[in-house]
Amino acid sequence: MKKDTKHIPVLLQEVMDTILIKPKDNVVDATLGGGGYAREILRKRGVLIAIDRDPDAVEAFRKALSQEKEFQSLCEGKDFHLVCGNYSQITEILDSLDIGKVQSIVADLGISSDQLADEKKGLSFSLEALLDMRLNSTESIQTASHIVNHWNKENLIRILRDNAQEFNAVSIVNAIIEARKKSVIRTTKELAEIIENSAQGHRKKIHPATKTFQALRMEVNAEMKHLEVFLNASIEKLESCGRLVVVSFHSGEDREVKRIFRTNARGCICPNEFPLCRCGYVPRIKILYKKPISPSEKEIQENPRSRSAKLRGVEKLIMT
């Protein structure tokens, strides 16, 4: 049974201060989740295009808004579009709605409290559930259980290191391989216990299974691949002076966001020895903050899950 949760949007004020919504602006919330940003976009009278790959999240938000007097009239008009789809499909989604350029796009790359509390998704090591981790079961047949029980040692180590920067990847993977020789690893609790036992003697601030679960979820849902496509497509879909804001929660995602933003913010990429530019590259965006914005101590105290959040924002340059 799914537990009741309270969704707390991370860095809400900072996000809203960055995207600068005006009434009737086309604004994409590319990762709807619990709808914290979406509600604020509606309050500011933006035209909301809310996207989530998780059909449960889409339906939960639709149902919640239908019961909230503040938003009932807004949801009945043309200023509200709720779409179940992957944010990497942002171009196709906007084209299908006959929306060209947009003024603002925001994406929160974290997992919502509702998704973590949903036992059938098997995302949390604190709940007893089957090892699934698919955010949308129609997108892929590959589950976390398949990866844990069938992938070879080298690939398991790779995803733990690449997706989650897990320094204890080798010892964790060795423990998983030894355990699966005895019986199939079927549940979140079984996997968490295997990892916890492998980490005995190691003092950690976070649960030793945290990064492994993160890495598996990212692999199951191909999150890094979709992130790259989304970022480049979003920059293309912004109108001049439009803004894109991304909130990430771990260093791998933040590095990818930073890399793509820097690539699109630089001009000529010709070798230094070239006397004249031959590539023709011009900057497409400007980076709004030299360093990412992090939550305040007050926000971290009120919402501990926000502690690792980093906000980066860019503005589309006027293209001539």
The sheet carrying 285-287 orders its strands as 80-84, 47-52, 26-29, 102-108, 238-248, 310-316, 285-287
End residue of a domain, out of 220, 250, 268: 220
Place of tokens 């509606």: 42
- pLDDT digit string (tens) for 197-206? 988 756 567 8
Q: Which residues of 129-161 are buried (b: 16+ CB within 10 A; e: fewer)?
A: bebbbbbbeeeeeebbbebbbebeeeebbbbbb
% of the chain with per-residue pLDDT over 90 = 74
**pLDDT for 316:** 97
What's the pLDDT score for residue 114?
82
At residue 5 the predicted structure's pLDDT band, cuts being 50, 70 and 90, is low
Give the alpha-carbon dihedral of 82, 14, 219, 83, to 10 degrees.
0
Q: Do 240 and 99 have their domain in common?
A: yes
* 220, 244, 268 - which closes a domain: 220
Same domain for 176 and 305, yes or no, is no
> For 180-209, what is the mean pLDDT?
88
Residue 193 above 60 pLDDT? Answer: yes
Q: Kindly report which listed range (38-52, 84-98, 272-286, 293-307) carries the lowest average pLDDT score.
A: 272-286
- When pLDDT is averaged across residues 304-318 and rounded to a whole number, the result is 94
Report DSSP letters for 35-83, one per residue: -HHHHHHHHTT-EEEEEES-HHHHHHHHHHHHT-HHHHHHHTSSSEEEE
Is 208 in the same domain as 90? no
Distance, CA of 69 to CA of 73 (rounded, Å): 8
Widest CA span of the chain, in angstroms?
66
Which pLDDT score is estimated for 75?
65
Asked if the structure places residue 130 within a domain, the reply is no
57, 114 contact by CB (below 8 A)? yes
- Give the per-residue pLDDT at 202: 62
The per-residue pLDDT of the chain, averaged, comes to 91
Domain assignment present for 124: no
Determine, yes or no, domain membership for 63: yes
Domain assignment present for residue 3? The answer is no
Assess whether pLDDT exceeds 80 at residue 82.
Answer: yes
The model's confidence at residue 1, banded by pLDDT at 50, 70 and 90, is: very low
Predicted local distance difference test score (pLDDT) of residue 68 = 87
181: CATH: 1.10.150.170
Judgement on whether residues 303 and 173 belong to the same structural domain of the protein? no
Report how many domains make up the chain: 2
The model's pLDDT over 249-294, given as tens digits with 9 standing for 90+, comes to: 988 899 999 999 999 998 787 888 888 888 878 899 999 999 999 9
In this structure, what CATH number is given to the domain that contains residue 108? Answer: 3.40.50.150
The model's pLDDT over 114-128, given as tens digits with 9 standing for 90+, comes to: 888 888 899 999 899
One domain, residues 287 and 197: no
User: Cα–Cα distance between 229 and 249 in angstroms, integer?
Assistant: 19
- Domain boundaries, position 242: 12-114+223-316
pLDDT band at 195, cuts 50/70/90? very high
Residue type, 155: N
Domain boundary residue among 192, 220, 248?
A: 220
Q: What is the pLDDT of residues 140-164, one digit of tens each?
A: 779 999 999 999 999 999 999 999 8
**Does the pLDDT at position 8 exceed 90?**
no
pLDDT at 158: 97
